[in-house]
């Protein structure tokens, strides 16, 4: 009888430890807005994955390699170039209004991103869109959704 109780206690303890370890991993996977980030946190080359939504064909394709290059062009101003080789490319500029988010729109494209941090690591997540106007109506052609991390030290 004592052996059954010991095995039950051991099994219960193991389950609790596994659940505790899993909950700690989930906590470490949580990204939050980089509220204290300055412009130098944005500047540099970023690489990661992207999805492309073709609005004309109503089709999404995942798994593209994407590069985002951000340069400082003035006090709190940046230029963003996003490139998916042989698929998509865009460049836009604007003012960095907060440490963690940007939203720029040009005459035929836009770029929106959030700078996230987790245990000292940075990640940039966002969308880039190409569009045009037809009879005063905005028509979206392509939407790129991306997650990138620094390709070089920031």
Percent share of the chain, pLDDT over 90? 71
Distance CA 89, CA 141 (A): 13
Question: What are the tens digits of pLDDT across the range 46-79?
Answer: 999 999 999 999 999 999 999 999 999 999 999 9
Strands 88-95 and 77-84: antiparallel
Which pTM value belongs to this model?
Answer: 0.78
Q: Please list the residues that pair with 53 across neighbouring strands.
A: 60, 143
Q: What pLDDT does 29 receive? A: 76
Kindly state which CATH superfamily the domain 32-150 is placed in. Calycin beta-barrel core domain (2.40.128.20)
């Amino acid at each position: 009888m004592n052996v059954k109780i010991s095995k039950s206690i051991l099994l219960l303890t193991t389950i609790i430890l596994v659940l505790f370890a899993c909950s700690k991993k989930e906590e470490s996977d949580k990204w939050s807005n980089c509220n204290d980030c300055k412009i130098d946190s944005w500047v540099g080359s970023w690489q990661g994955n992207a999805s492309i939504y073709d609005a004309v064909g109503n089709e999404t394709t995942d798994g593209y390699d994407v590069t985002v290059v951000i340069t400082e062009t003035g006090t709190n101003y940046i230029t963003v170039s996003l490139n998916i080789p042989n698929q998509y490319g865009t460049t836009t500029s604007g003012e960095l209004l907060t440490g963690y988010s940007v939203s720029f729109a040009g005459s035929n494209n836009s770029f929106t991103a959030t700078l996230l941090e987790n245990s000292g690591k940075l990640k940039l997540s966002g969308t880039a869109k190409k569009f045009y106007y037809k009879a005063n109506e905005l028509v979206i052609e392509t939407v790129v959704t991306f997650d990138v991390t620094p390709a070089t030290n920031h």
